[in-house]
């Protein structure tokens, strides 16, 4: 047949080329330790990435080699991302909050050949250096070391080309059991993910967007914002300090419109704003994910005219799976109905499919009631973990089991009810620990809450609620139970409420349920006597 279309490989460096060419003067702002603010722009990032690509080649790094970064959010880190990918390397972002044993495992498993790190992590690097057997070069982002490395290079460099299915990035899951597993992103999957992410019902990014990613660049590809923001030529604002006063100041000074992060960050920000009357400037969109966003948090932002995009995803999904956005019948819904909707995790964009199945693998209806194992497949979903001898982690129809338990509603919205390991099994029925926790957080005086299943002779398990009180608050168990009664079924009410000083978190800010379950599994409930 005569005729046809061009072959234009979907390679990630084309995103940066576009940003440089069409939005070259759009700024990248970085707040470094000590309050030092630095400014670059997309043209500057592209130029420095070319210089770095040359430097990496000079150091002997080759196509396909893994290039590690152990760093916070800043412009030099962004240059390292694009420089590493541009020279054909596989960028490996390392979670700085992991334990030593996990860091040793990950870096050796990835076979990183070079490591870029922030000065604040120098003690960690010194400690683990002898155990990281494959790293040949260590480059500190600070002290002029990184700047010197690229200063000597020319920026005359053509990105390494290749197949669009080649790998370009490696992220390890922050698994709470067993060894972390690596997810190897490809050029094509990452580029398609970015095209989806910018769209209105997803992150709604445009050239006017000023994005402050609070999510660390090492958490699930920094939620892919370094790619999607470049794609539209938005302005990026990075900070090495995300304490609420610094965040508020940055938002106002830089005109931040979009931000994204886990719920714990927003809890802190909300308390600061309440306490000081600080304002959030031009902020109009907050994306909340990583854990379920509590209703009170969603209401807090929407009451101030700020859109909340409640997002669900995972490292295995590059990471976006679903995002909440206004539905077709939005204008017909009242405020409570809208909040009900936003408390769920949203809908899939084109490119992702979802289904739920029961324990036997039988497909469940999308009826807003049936809860089961959530499975997914699509254009940016894992097929096999990196260097994993277990082989593919998908079934013969490509479905990947997320390990989450969920309900799908008739209009397609996803409602995550639990991690399958966290669900509380009482009398053969399931109690959602997430629902209990979020209902509890809505009670005045409660700062944070965790619901765990405790062994029970009659019911198998019953819920125990651990609560951290807000500073100075004197809320009682009875008050919390009274509050919960208005939100959950009677048989879901916790048998007991314990006040604790703090709750443990994973390296990505989720409640560390495994530790809590172990600690409280055999707790003696009065109801069990
Ligand atoms: P990670 O790979 O570290 O991002 O973790 C992915 C897991 O975080 C998912 O499988 C969910 O269990 C959980 N998660 C992410 N977003 C949400 C959300 N909006 N609500 C509830 N759980 C979430």
pLDDT tens column, 350-363: 999 999 999 899 99
* 302 vs 524, residue with greater confidence: 302
Q: Is 423-528 a domain of CATH 3.40.50.300?
A: no
Residue 489: band (very low, low, confident or very high) from pLDDT cuts 50, 70, 90: confident
Task: Give the number of other CB atoms < 10 A from CB of residue 120.
Answer: 15
Is 448 an active-site residue?
no
Contact 240, 75 (CB under 8 A): no
What mean pLDDT comes out for the span 247-265? 96
pLDDT on residue 155: 97
Digit-coded pLDDT (tens) for 55-76: 999 999 999 999 999 999 999 9
The rounded distance, in Å, linking the Cα atoms of 497 and 481 is: 9
Separation of CA 395 and ligand 1 centre (Å): 21
Strands 66-70 and 371-378: unpaired
Is 173 near ligand 1, meaning CB less than 6 Å away? Answer: yes
182 pLDDT above the threshold of 90: yes
The rounded distance, in Å, linking the Cα atoms of 465 and 496 is: 6
- C-alpha 479: how far from chain center: 34
Residue 313's φ and ψ, nearest 5 degrees, are -170, -175
470 pLDDT above the threshold of 60: yes
Is 430 an active-site residue?
yes
Q: CA geometry: angle at 470 spanning 464 and 471, to 5°?
A: 135
Separation of CA 7 and ligand 1 centre (Å): 36
The protein residue whose alpha carbon is closest to atom 4 in ligand 1 is 314
Task: Give the number of other CB atoms < 10 A from CB of residue 306.
Answer: 16
The protein residue whose alpha carbon is closest to atom 20 in ligand 1 is 292
Domain boundary assignment for the chain: 13-245, 347-419, 423-528
* 175 vs 449, residue with greater confidence: 449
pLDDT on residue 98: 87
Digit-coded pLDDT (tens) for 121-162: 999 999 999 999 999 999 999 999 999 999 989 999 999 999
% of residues, the chain, pLDDT over 70: 99
Residue 286: band (very low, low, confident or very high) from pLDDT cuts 50, 70, 90: very high
Calculate the average pLDDT of the chain. 95
Is 173 an active-site residue?
yes
The rounded distance, in Å, linking the Cα atoms of 33 and 24 is: 26
What mean pLDDT comes out for the span 201-214? 98
* Structural element, H or E, at residue 52: helix 42-58
What CATH number should be reported for the domain whose range is 13-245? 3.40.50.12780
* Structural element, H or E, at residue 400: strand 400-408
pLDDT on residue 376: 98
The rounded distance, in Å, linking the Cα atoms of 227 and 224 is: 6
Distance between the two ends of the chain, CA-based, in angstroms? 80
pTM of the predicted structure, to 2 decimals: 0.92
For residue 198, give the nearest of 108, 287, 106, 301 by alpha carbon: 287
Is 318 near ligand 1, meaning CB less than 6 Å away? Answer: no
Q: Which of 223, 314, 418, 436 to mutate to test the pocket of ligand 1 (most atoms within 8 A of CB)?
A: 314
pLDDT on residue 527: 81
pLDDT on residue 197: 98
DSSP letter assigned to residue 92: E
pLDDT on residue 97: 86
What mean pLDDT comes out for the span 85-103? 94
Would you state the structure tokens that stand for residue 44, as one six-digit string? 């500057």
pLDDT on residue 420: 85
The rounded distance, in Å, linking the Cα atoms of 361 and 341 is: 27
Is 315 near ligand 1, meaning CB less than 6 Å away? Answer: yes
pLDDT on residue 421: 87
The rounded distance, in Å, linking the Cα atoms of 475 and 481 is: 11
pLDDT on residue 359: 87
Which ligand 1 atom lies nearest to the CA of residue 508? 3
* 316 beta partners: none
Digit-coded pLDDT (tens) for 335-348: 999 999 999 999 99
Which ligand 1 atom lies nearest to the CA of residue 510? 8
Q: Is 347-419 a domain of CATH 3.40.50.2020?
A: no
Residue 430: band (very low, low, confident or very high) from pLDDT cuts 50, 70, 90: confident
Residue 40's φ and ψ, nearest 5 degrees, are -135, -165
The rounded distance, in Å, linking the Cα atoms of 511 and 520 is: 14
The rounded distance, in Å, linking the Cα atoms of 376 and 385 is: 16
Q: How many helices (H) and strands (E) does the chain have?
A: 15, 23
* 106 vs 527, residue with greater confidence: 106
pLDDT on residue 453: 94
176 pLDDT above the threshold of 60: no
Rg of the chain's alpha carbons, rounded to an integer? 23
What mean pLDDT comes out for the span 86-107? 95
């Amino acid at each position: 047949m005569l005729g046809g279309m061009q072959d234009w490989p979907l390679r990630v460096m084309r995103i940066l080329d576009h940003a440089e060419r069409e939005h070259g003067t759009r700024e990248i702002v970085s707040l470094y330790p000590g309050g030092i603010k630095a400014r670059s722009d997309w043209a500057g990032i592209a130029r420095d990435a070319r210089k770095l690509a040359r430097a990496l080649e000079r150091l002997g790094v080759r196509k396909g080699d893994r290039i590690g970064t152990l760093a916070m959010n800043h412009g030099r880190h962004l240059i390292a991302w694009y420089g590493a990918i541009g020279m054909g390397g596989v960028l490996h972002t390392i979670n700085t909050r992991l334990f030593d044993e996990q860091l040793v495992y990950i870096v050796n498993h990835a076979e990183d050949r070079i490591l870029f790190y922030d000065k604040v992590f120098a003690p960690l690097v010194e400690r683990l250096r002898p155990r990281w057997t494959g790293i040949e070069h260590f480059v500190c982002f600070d002290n002029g070391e990184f700047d010197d490395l690229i200063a000597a290079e020319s920026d005359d460099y053509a990105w390494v080309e290749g197949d669009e299915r080649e790998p370009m990035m490696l992220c390890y899951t922050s698994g709470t059991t067993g060894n972390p597993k690596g997810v190897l992103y490809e050029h094509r999957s990452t580029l398609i993910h970015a095209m989806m992410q910018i769209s209105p019902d997803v992150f709604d990014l445009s050239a006017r967007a000023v994005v402050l990613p609070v999510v660390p660049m090492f958490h699930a590809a920094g939620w892919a914002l370094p790619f999607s923001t470049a794609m539209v030529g938005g302005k990026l604002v990075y900070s090495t300090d995300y304490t609420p006063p610094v965040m508020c100041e940055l938002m106002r000074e830089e005109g931040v419109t979009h931000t994204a992060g886990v719920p714990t960050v927003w809890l802190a920000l909300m308390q600061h704003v309440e306490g000081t009357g600080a304002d959030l400037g031009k902020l109009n969109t907050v994306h909340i994910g990583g854990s379920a966003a509590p209703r009170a948090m969603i209401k807090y932002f929407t009451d101030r005219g700020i859109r909340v995009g409640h997002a669900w995803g995972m490292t295995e999904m590059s990471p976006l799976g679903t995002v909440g956005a206004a539905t077709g019948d939005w204008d017909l819904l009242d405020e409570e109905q809208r909040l009900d909707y936003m408390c769920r995790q949203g809908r899939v964009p084109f490119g992702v499919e979802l289904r739920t199945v029961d324990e036997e693998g039988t497909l469940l209806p999308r009826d807003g009631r049936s809860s089961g194992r959530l499975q997914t497949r699509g254009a940016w979903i894992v097929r096999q973990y990196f260097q994993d001898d277990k082989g593919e982690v998908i079934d013969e129809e490509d479905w990947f089991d997320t390990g989450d338990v969920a309900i799908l509603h008739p209009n397609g919205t996803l409602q995550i009810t639990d991690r399958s390991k966290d669900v509380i099994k009482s009398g053969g029925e399931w109690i959602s620990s997430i629902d209990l926790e979020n209902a509890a957080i809505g009670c005045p005086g409660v700062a944070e809450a965790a619901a765990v299943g405790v062994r029970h002779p009659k019911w198998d398990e019953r819920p125990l609620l651990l609560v951290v009180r807000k500073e100075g608050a004197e809320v009682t168990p009875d008050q919390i139970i009274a509050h919960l009664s208005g939100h959950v079924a009677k048989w879901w009410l916790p048998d007991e409420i314990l006040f604790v000083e703090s709750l443990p978190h994973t390296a990505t800010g989720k409640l560390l349920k495994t530790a809590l379950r172990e600690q409280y599994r055999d707790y003696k409930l009065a109801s069990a006597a």
